[in-house]
Structure 1
Amino acid sequence: MSEKVYDALVIGSGAAGSFAAKELTANGLSVLLLEAGPEIGKKDFNPSKKKPPASAINIWERARATIKGQPIQARAAFFTERFSRFFVNDRKNPYTTPRGEPFLWIRGRQAGGRLHSFGRVLLRWTDNDFKINSRSGRGVDWPVSYDELAPFYAEAESHLGLYGNEDHVATLPDGVYSRPAKLTPAEELFKKTVEGDAPERHVVSWRYIAPDAERVPRPLREAMASGKLTIRYDSIVRRVTTDPQTGRATGAEIIDRNSGAVHTVRAENVVLCASPIESIRLLLNSASEKHPNGLGNSSGTLGRYFMDQLPCLAFGTYPPAKGWSHDDSAPQDPFYNPSGGIFVPRFENVDGKPQRGDFAYQGSVGRAPVGNNDAASLAFFGFGMMLPHADNRVTLDARRKDAWGIPVPHIRCVMHETENELIRKQEKTLIDMIEGAGGKLDFIGSPLGLKEMGRGAFPEADALSRFLFRKWFRKTMVMGAAIHESGGARMGTTRENSVLNSWNQSWDVPNLLVTDASAFPGGGTAGTTLTVMALTLRACRKLAAGYRNEAE
């Protein structure tokens, strides 16, 4: 039993955990951060591993990773061997899904979490995302509005130093940018053509952060420099401990990842930032006499209303532009490929009708190397808004345990007819937009299947790789492929319909916060990371102020 009682315990060190540690230590609290994986530093970013894939499909890299124990992680759309250490070993970290209802759980366990492997794109959400119930008649509205989150968006953006431009698009609010972001000549032409044909549509640059040369997330570095932060790596949290009389959180029970030794740590407050599925799993596994159905689950909603965004992937060429261009907006990194590209936020014209499409597209045109006289390449990934359904949920599978003896999550996340209809529109709209701008698609695919067009998928690859790609695609482009999972411990306006209140605080356990994307009541159409950061800053500032007042 550890004798030291920290002011706050933070579980997880990714987008939420690093900002939680920063905010709490900045307010003078002593913080213990628990990270399930190892410490990460410059030694883990070997430039010699930055090699071009053997083929456009990199099928053999995925095969090698599968053999080494990463059959799920290797299905991530943009997986490469270079990043394999930033993804978990699936044999040690299994999970289950219902038969015939696959879900890809792409994750990393190391200091910084998925901040080392995500696309570094940080986009704001709007009230189109936050007012899910009033728009759809489903679920519950977020108990916060865009205006409430805007100052925290700005704070996170300013802290990280974004590349981006003011675009004045209502469905994608401008942020705070330290440097401009460029488009390639091919993207400029694509933008001019799309916006000329449909002025209500907008093609804008990514808003993104460059790779950090220190290889430790900046908010985490700042927390470490405060002298108020203690970090325990390789510490897998088995459950959050609670007081048997009051039901309040008292700390956590942890397992050493390497030795298997069990320890208990203590804190006055607990901030759960482990990522959606892990946080739900941990809350369910923390059941006690005071919390028989899982920690903070008096509403019965814990694990329910789990979502991911609807994925679709398209590759092709853009004959109106030739060759390719290097984007020099950000300095080149010896380990990471250059960032940058285009984003098409949701718009109000679908199928030529004045109806909002609850989907958005992220992509690039003219960035992949091709011959000077060859048509520019293009690639797009679509993200559609999944509605919250009570039967999409995360539960515990007591029959299966991970390498540390903890019950694994059982994940059900399937499209209902609403989502099937939306993803059909999402695909058709993308095809029409690309072809209308002069592009030619080789393929487009989603959980509905693969559609090859023109030259077919990856025409330059060898026949065996193309055959394996077609076979693997049905296991790759399924729910979870967007890697924007959310929900399961949602915020709400009453303790009867939600797990958390408007400050990410458990209704049942007042000294417990959950600030990762499991808190989301709705799924949105843009990446979740910036909203997670903003919510974490807001919640932890409130926690720190209240805790200081109690101490006084």
Structure 2
Amino acid sequence: MTDVTYDALVIGSGAAGSFAVKELTAQGLKVLLLEAGPNVGPKDFDPARKKAPASSINIWERARATLKGQPIQARAAFFTERFSHFFVSDRKNPYTTPKNEPFLWIRGRQSGGRLHSFGRVLLRWTDEDFKIRSKTGKGVDWPISYEEIRPYYDEVETYLGLYGNTDDVPTLPDGVYARPASLSPAEETFKRAVEGRWPDRRVVSWRYIAPDAERVPKPLREALTSGNLTVQYDAVVRRITTDETTGRASGAEFIDRSTGALSSVRAAIVVLAASPIESVRLLLNSASVRHPEGLGNSSGVLGRYFMDQLPCLAFGSFSQAKGWAADQSAPTDPFYNPSGGIFIPRFGEADPARGDFDYQGSVGRVPVSEKDDARLSFFGFGRMLPYADNRITLDRRRKDAWNITIPHIRCVMQAEEHALLKKQEQVLTSMIEAVGGDLEFIGSPTGLKEMGKGAFPEASAFGRFMFRTWFKKTMCMGAAIHETGGARMGETPEASVLNPYNQLWDAPNLIVIDASAFPGSGIAGTTLTVMSLTLRACRNLVEQYRRGSFSAR
């Protein structure tokens, strides 16, 4: 492979990488995709793996995964053995955190990345996320606005075929929908109760994509059929190479995951899409004479301002509705559970409880007797501000299974986050109770609070004991799985790693397109914004490449 120079090299095949190869191949570039894990297809989605958990806590599934080498991955809030092969081995992929400041790094290494295990919810951000400093005086503004990214939101949603409804919510812009999404009867009741009591709070359906029956993400599948894409699976990239004269990216060195063989590849442009922590780790591990502190780190900002969203989890029942109902909006899938649920966006400006948080959940979708109260669950997401000392560095004392230096992750809440998370939990609790809900527990990185019957009252005493014991390790920073920052974009090279088009200031033929580019954490899922920024960044890079800005050396 060392004798071939590609137009573009893409590292990672998840939400960002799959859209990158789609765009680059469609524009006629010869592209090499390096994926650290194996190729996956229909064989990896065996319906026989779809089994009901032994209990709602699924303690034994988590225990088995832990024994098999996934003690971190098994702590994901909604972990299930069905997806265990879509999560990494923690034994082979270690990382470190400060003592008493845990961070859950939930990750997948295979074609499609975490697209096989995420909730498939795609939500737009607003200028309350992009221009937070202008609106609140906190954090930092993005160098782009909602209006600049809106056409790319439109394009991605149209391409993927989004399920959703026109809701006309100022704090959650409507998207382009191919099909409507439904609420359960219990959710309709919940919606009427909340919106009737608080005019500036809205309860809307999820905006989501259905599972892909072909099991290969659509953009990756399209790129594969273009004739312009070469894929090297099981290719663990250890460093990005650079030209000693220009300082620009020239390709990459990678290790065969199975054999340990080292190879290298050359490309005129490089697209880094490995997920926030991994992309930063790779840039830091790509130090050279021209880039002594890491590739793209002349400002000293690389790795800094790392964030996740503030997580909280609540379970209970809703006495105003009985039983449950299946959602028929999307086709039934033999491997995945039905999609759908409710989303409560950031409240309107007139609501006195308004804050930078939102809630995703469901009511009346869990099977129970028609005489029983409907079950409810919510996961809250809150904004985290960027702090310079929340950062990804290298722990040079340890290596992974391929002898690559591992990352050290620090993501610690400050007083601002503690106050916001307290409000986030209090508002959710009071809102649910006011409309006839009965919470059994609510918890976050600040701890677990049980009420009423307590957490999972139908579970065994041992299961409940283990849930309480593990909760602090499960609901800590990282649990939202919406990590951002570390290679943020900005207006100047002195205060950022990337320019407003995701190009490395220090090597402009390299773009970083995953959420490490984000200057702020936002409060909704990151995936739609990642996909949209990828199209924007790739088109800008190709335009420069065609003008001759980056010639292969």
Place the TM-score, normalised by the shorter chain, in its bin: over 0.9
- The 3-state SS of whatever aligns with 2:456 is coil
User: Does the 8 Å contact 1:36/1:109 carry over to 2?
Assistant: yes
- The 3-state SS of whatever aligns with 1:511 is strand
Q: How does 1:71-470 map to 2 (within 5 A)?
A: 71-348=71-348, 353=352, 356-470=354-468
Counterpart of 1:480 in structure 2 is 478
Distance 1:188 1:107 in 2: 35
Distance 1:120 1:440 in 2: 28
The AA in structure 1 aligned to 2:325 is S
Counterpart of 2:6 in structure 1 is 6
The AA in structure 2 aligned to 1:203 is V
| Post-superposition offset of 1:349 | 6.3
**Residues 137-191 of structure 1: CA distance to partner in whole angstroms, max 9, x if unpaired?**
3443111100000010111111111100010001100001100000000000000
Distance 2:39 2:473 in 1: 32
Distance 1:512 1:16 in 2: 14
**Residues 36-86 of structure 1: CA distance to partner in whole angstroms, max 9, x if unpaired?**
000000000000111100001000000000000000000000000000000
- The 3-state SS of whatever aligns with 1:32 is strand
Counterpart of 1:504 in structure 2 is 502
The AA in structure 2 aligned to 1:185 is P
Distance 1:17 1:344 in 2: 30
Counterpart of 1:31 in structure 2 is 31
User: Does the 8 Å contact 1:349/1:357 carry over to 2?
Assistant: no
| Post-superposition offset of 1:2 | 1.2
The AA in structure 2 aligned to 1:59 is I
User: Does the 8 Å contact 2:488/2:516 carry over to 1?
Assistant: yes
- The 3-state SS of whatever aligns with 1:329 is coil
Distance 1:135 1:293 in 2: 34
Distance 1:66 1:264 in 2: 35
The AA in structure 2 aligned to 1:256 is D
User: Does the 8 Å contact 1:271/1:512 carry over to 2?
Assistant: yes
Counterpart of 1:518 in structure 2 is 516
**Residues 288-337 of structure 1: CA distance to partner in whole angstroms, max 9, x if unpaired?**
11001110111110000000000000000001000000000000000000
The AA in structure 1 aligned to 2:373 is A
User: Does the 8 Å contact 2:170/2:348 carry over to 1?
Assistant: no
Q: How many residues align?
A: 550
| Post-superposition offset of 1:550 | 2.0
Counterpart of 1:67 in structure 2 is 67
User: Does the 8 Å contact 2:16/2:530 carry over to 1?
Assistant: yes
Distance 1:349 1:59 in 2: 42
- The 3-state SS of whatever aligns with 2:70 is coil
Distance 2:303 2:136 in 1: 21
**Residues 354-413 of structure 1: CA distance to partner in whole angstroms, max 9, x if unpaired?**
x63100000000000000000000000000000001110000000011000001000000
Identity %: 73
**Residues 77-101 of structure 1: CA distance to partner in whole angstroms, max 9, x if unpaired?**
0000000000000000000000010
- The 3-state SS of whatever aligns with 1:510 is strand
Q: Could you state the TM-score of these two structures normalised by the residue count of structure 2? A: 0.98
Distance 1:130 1:356 in 2: 18
The AA in structure 2 aligned to 1:293 is E
Question: Cα–Cα, structure 1 residues 136 and 305, in superposed 2: closer, same or farther, change >3 Å?
Answer: farther
In structure 2, stretches of 5+ residues that fail to align are none
- The 3-state SS of whatever aligns with 1:357 is coil
Distance 2:119 2:522 in 1: 17
The AA in structure 1 aligned to 2:436 is G
User: Does the 8 Å contact 1:140/1:492 carry over to 2?
Assistant: no
Distance 2:401 2:417 in 1: 35
Distance 2:6 2:354 in 1: 48
Distance 1:315 1:428 in 2: 14
**Residues 434-482 of structure 1: CA distance to partner in whole angstroms, max 9, x if unpaired?**
0111100000000010000101000000000000000000100000000
| Post-superposition offset of 1:542 | 1.0
Counterpart of 1:531 in structure 2 is 529
The AA in structure 2 aligned to 1:502 is P
Question: Cα–Cα, structure 1 residues 287 and 138, in superposed 2: closer, same or farther, change >3 Å?
Answer: farther
Distance 1:298 1:166 in 2: 45
The AA in structure 1 aligned to 2:541 is L
User: Does the 8 Å contact 1:138/1:388 carry over to 2?
Assistant: no
- The 3-state SS of whatever aligns with 2:470 is helix
Cα RMSD (Å): 1.1
Distance 2:229 2:366 in 1: 42
| Post-superposition offset of 1:133 | 2.1
Distance 1:14 1:250 in 2: 23
Distance 1:131 1:501 in 2: 16
| Post-superposition offset of 1:549 | 2.5
In structure 1, stretches of 5+ residues that fail to align are none
| Post-superposition offset of 1:197 | 0.3
| Post-superposition offset of 1:242 | 0.2
- The 3-state SS of whatever aligns with 2:252 is strand
**Residues 220-246 of structure 1: CA distance to partner in whole angstroms, max 9, x if unpaired?**
011111100000000000000001111
